[in-house]
Chains A and B, each alone.
Chain A
Amino acid sequence: MNLLRLTAMEALEMMGRGELSADELTGAFLDQIDRHDGDVAAYLYVNKTGAREAAAAAGGGDRPLNGIPTAIKDVLCTEGMLTTCGSRMLEGFVPVYTATCVSRLTEAGVVNLGKTNMDEFAMGSSTENSAFGPTRNPWDLDRVPGGSSGGSAAAVAAGEAMWALGSDTGGSIRQPASFCGVVGFKPTYGSVSRYGLVAFASSFDQVGPLTRSVGDAALMLQHLVGKDPRDTTSVAHPEQIVIPEDRDLSGLRIGVISELSGEGIDPGVREVFQKAVSTMADAGAQMETASIPHAEYCIPAYYILAPAEASANLARYDGVRFGLRAGGARDVIEMYEETRSLGFGDEVKRRIMLGTYALSSGYYDAYYGQAQKVRTLVVNDFDAAFREFDLLVSPTTPTTAFGLGERVDDPLTMYMSDICTVPANLAGLPAISIPVGLDGGMPVGMQIMGPAFSANRLLQAAHGAEAAVAFNRVSPLVEERD
């Protein structure tokens, strides 16, 4: 049997019945990494020995996620294990502590397969901004996997991990999930601790799962949420996360966001998306048109606020205490300049400059201040929409995965691939992307958004949609092991 097709829930059941061992399971994924990661390049670090040892130790244990092979985005600190954020700046950096979300999963029994590639400091939509080379899309190796959690999405799609942790600041979980045909969930801001998540834009960043199924997303989320005393912006999730069982969509009022599903969306993507909407209507959901009037201002506002926060968050990479330090500087200012010139890639530099500019005296009100107002308007738009609808949907991305190198010289077009995902980050809302079909052989994702802390409602509906749409496809790299 092809173990790489299993969901975590299925694998746990089989291990529970003694039909599968944790060793065997981890072995299958490590084999697949050996076989394909040379091409896919999902991982920056493969924890081969550690994973085998953890799997051996997991044998027969009764922890809830015992032995599940897990990939971790390299933006999350792992004590004693390389954490680079895809940047030269942190090449060889080994943290002295572990991120809360990683500890929670490890305590629940998962096996850490290694650290996955990403756009440098999570800035990008294609994983081409990694200082250590791009990751490739398992559905078509000439295409990007999306980003910034491209390594995690590709690992899950390529059968190189059963599931993975990602982080989402403007779509960095959902967009690569959509490009790679897997499920990606960004929780409500504050649901999951950010302690140990290397900060890009602190008021947007959220950690979440990339999985093969909605059920798995719920399962991992159960172990991720909760208040962490080390992150004062984290809160106790008001409801226990339940694993969705019921697949009924009837009675749900779902709004299709007109601003995010019409113009600007590729016709092929629109077609697959519309078909999924009809399928959900057939399954009993009440599908109607909804509006987020300020949607068009989300991208500009996001590309002011996120870089502004980033410009401060990335100031600590100065060559003084850890990471890269350029040699030969004559004084401390020169050391800063040389270190940061060498250590950061173009996109990171671009965003630091954008953010610094937006906060500068004389420009603050016109940029940062104005963008904050837009953020408030978007929050109000969603509040109004959720008075009418239980949930909102849109395509996850305007196109399917684009070709490697196609957009690297065109940052604005690259930024537009976040057009559908950024609004949920501005408003701090939960949003999931599920695969709903193929366009030209490449996966298309549907995004479902809910009110704050409505994870259960959202997962329930996504579970129903998943069943109704019955995508049931895996990448060729998994298929070939059948």
Chain B
Amino acid sequence: MDYEPVIGLEIHVELSTRSKMFCGCRVEFGGEPNTRTCPVCLAHPGALPVMNRQAIRYLGRIALALECSIPERSIFHRKNYFYPDLPKGYQISQYDQPFAVEGGLSVSVDGEMVTVGIERVHMEEDTAKNIHAGVSGRIAGSLYSMIDFNRSGTPLVEIVTKPHIHSPQAARSFLNRLKNTLQFLDVSDCNMEEGSLRCDANVSIRPVGDRELGVKTELKNMNSFRYIEKGLSQEIRRQVGLLESGERVVQQTVHFDVVTGEISPLRSKEEAQDYRYFPEPDLVPLVASADFVAGIREEMPELPADRARRYVSQHGLPDYDAQVLTSDRELSDFYEESVSLYGDAKTVSNWVMGELLAYLNHTGETAGECRVTPTALAELLDMVKGGDISANIGKEVFSEMCDTGESAAAIVARKGLTQISDTDELEALIRQVIEENPAQVEQYRAGKVKVIGFFVGQVMKQTGGRANPRVVNRLLKERLPE
């Protein structure tokens, strides 16, 4: 029997606001433990939460970008459970009256645009961080645990999709698209290694054509989109295996081991958790008035789709270029800045999509991390346009720039890469090449005009690629016998 996977995702996004959700402590990653704390985020007796307005504006941006509707009133709830990283013994979260509901995000799946429904977007606060001392760094077998409250109370947005995703690949595309959107919104670093973007996935399978949902399992805390894709594939295989051998899927949380590729169930005890949600009496309801929402709409940064449209209509780029360039916030910013410095959009696009992207894919760096800045690229392109170096040499110089961080001019000078356009110098070389290759000269004379490419190649070889190809072509045509 053929089965169809049904996947829903829960994404947690740490906002990059200046201060924490309910106190004035700064939001930053890392740092000396327990240095960014106060009575509120340490849950000292008598301390009270005060809502961070900037976090709510960021939340508003996310909700609008995901085309959600924003009810005029939402409220906070307390989610009760004991854990040392949760100082109050409850997390302030939203429950049955979330900030935003019923949205969607369009994603390309197998070349087709599909809209994944968004169930809800709500505001909550992050926990502190436990550090387990001992052999493994995991809680099991550790000698003792330490807690760093620097992260405690960081604004956290939860985005829950509808079960509209039907393959691990689609899940990954959705997450890439979502991450890109969040980056364009300027609301989060979206750094999965630092935990500012985290994802849980619910997955079930059902016979193709069935409407009813199967029993779902949950994959938790996966720290890269690639592992999410792999983990989901593995879990789907496991569920299919169970059903085909006449067993049933048990609702539980499962763990995907990225090293062994194995799925193992976590203790089912966790499922029995009763969070005893009730309305948070320390906070007044969150009122999102029409004016407030209009204000958010006004301050919305340009989204990837809007940018792509602008690249086509104003920069004259092909749609393909526009899509690639806007698939990543930093890449897009790099491109825009380079265009503003250099001018010719298509040339910049070719270099960014060709040389820069190849380098980034190879090293895993982001455009923002690359040692070549838009200013440095524009300088290089100016040198190519001015004929100081050939385009091919330019590519070599670019690669050197990426490795060393030097300017194009410095590399060209150091390596003596300036293009040779001097006719006298080239004439001598051409004469030599013609003398040394009588056979090819004969072919040319017999009408095989294409052979000229061979002679250009020889000249380039002799000059280490520095000869100006246009000048070489012209001179060859003059010197070769008719």
Where the two chains meet, the residues of A that have a C-beta atom closer than 8 Å to any C-beta of B are: 76-77, 83, 85, 90, 93, 95-97, 99, 194-199, 201-203, 229-233, 308-309, 311-312, 314-316, 318, 320-322, 332, 336, 356, 359-361, 364, 368
Contacts and interface: CB of A to CB of B under 8 A. Distances in A.
B282 A360 contact: no
27 contacts: A90-B45, A95-B45, A194-B46, A195-B46, A196-B47, A199-B282, A202-B281, A230-B48, A231-B48, A232-B51, A309-B278, A311-B80, A312-B89, A315-B88, A316-B43, A316-B87, A318-B84, A318-B89, A320-B147, A321-B44, A332-B145, A336-B82, A359-B80, A359-B276, A360-B276, A361-B274, A364-B278
A315 B78 CA distance: 12
B42 interface: yes
B283 A232 contact: yes
A321 B146 CA distance: 11
Given A195-B46, A230-B50, A315-B89, 20 more contacts: A77-B44, A77-B45, A77-B46, A95-B44, A95-B45, A96-B39, A97-B39, A196-B46, A231-B48, A232-B49, A232-B51, A232-B283, A233-B282, A309-B278, A312-B80, A312-B89, A320-B87, A336-B82, A359-B277, A360-B274
A321 B42 contact: yes
B284 interface: yes
B contact face: mostly helix, strand, loop, or mixed = loop
Interface in B80-106: 80, 82, 84, 87-90
Nearest to B49: A232
Contact of B278 (A197, A308, A315, A316): A308
A203 B50 CA distance: 16
B272 to A, nearest CB: 10
Interface in B282-324: 282-284
Contacts of B48: 194-195, 230-232
A313 to B, nearest CB: 9
Contacts of A229: 50
Contacts of B276: 311-312, 356, 359-361, 364
Contacts of A230: 48, 50
Interface residues of B, number: 29
A202 B283 CA distance: 10
Contacts of A93: 45
B51 A316 contact: no
A316 B128 CA distance: 14
Nearest to B51: A232
Given A90-B45, A318-B82, A309 B147 contact: no
Nearest to B85: A320
Contacts of B51: 232
Given A97-B39, A356-B276, A199 B89 contact: no
B367 to A, nearest CB: 41
Contacts of B42: 321
A336 B84 CA distance: 10
A245 to B, nearest CB: 36
Contacts of A90: 45
Contacts of B147: 320
Nearest to B40: A230
Contacts of B47: 97, 195-196
Contacts of B84: 318, 320, 332
B45 A83 contact: yes
A113 B291 CA distance: 50
- Identify the interface centre among B44, B84, B283: most chain A CB within 10 Å of its CB: B44
A90 B87 CA distance: 16
B340 to A, nearest CB: 43
A308 to B, nearest CB: 6
Contacts of A97: 39, 44, 47
B284 A315 contact: no
A198 B89 contact: no
A321 B42 CA distance: 8
Nearest 7 pairs of A and B residues by beta carbon: A315-B89, A203-B281, A359-B276, A202-B281, A198-B45, A196-B46, A316-B43
Interface in B18-60: 39, 42-51
Contacts of A356: 276
Contacts of B45: 77, 83, 85, 90, 93, 95, 198-199, 316, 322
A233 B284 contact: yes
Contacts of B46: 76-77, 95, 99, 194-199
Contacts of B277: 359
Nearest to B276: A359
A99 B283 CA distance: 18
A258 to B, nearest CB: 31
B43 to A, nearest CB: 4
Given A232-B51, A318-B84, A312 B39 contact: no
Contacts of A314: 89
B278 A312 contact: yes
B282 A202 contact: yes
Contacts of A312: 78, 80, 88-90, 276, 278
A401 to B, nearest CB: 29
Identify which of B42, B46, B50 gathers the most chain A CB atoms within 10 Å of its CB.
B46
A315 B92 CA distance: 13
A169 to B, nearest CB: 12
Nearest to B275: A361
A224 to B, nearest CB: 16
Contacts of B49: 232
A16 B80 CA distance: 53
A468 B51 CA distance: 48
Which of B78, B89, B281, B283 has the most chain A CB atoms closer than 10 A to its own CB? B281
A96 to B, nearest CB: 6
A318 B49 CA distance: 19
The CB with the most chain A CB atoms within 10 A, among B43, B47, B90, is that of: B47
B274 A316 contact: no
Contacts of B274: 360-361
Nearest to A84: B45
A365 B80 CA distance: 17
Contacts of B90: 312, 315
A300 B44 CA distance: 30
Contacts of A360: 274, 276
A384 B274 CA distance: 39
A85 B45 CA distance: 10
Interface in B255-286: 274, 276-278, 281-284
A96 B82 contact: no
Nearest to B78: A312
B44 to A, nearest CB: 7
A77 B284 CA distance: 23
B281 A309 contact: yes
Contacts of B78: 312
B207 to A, nearest CB: 32
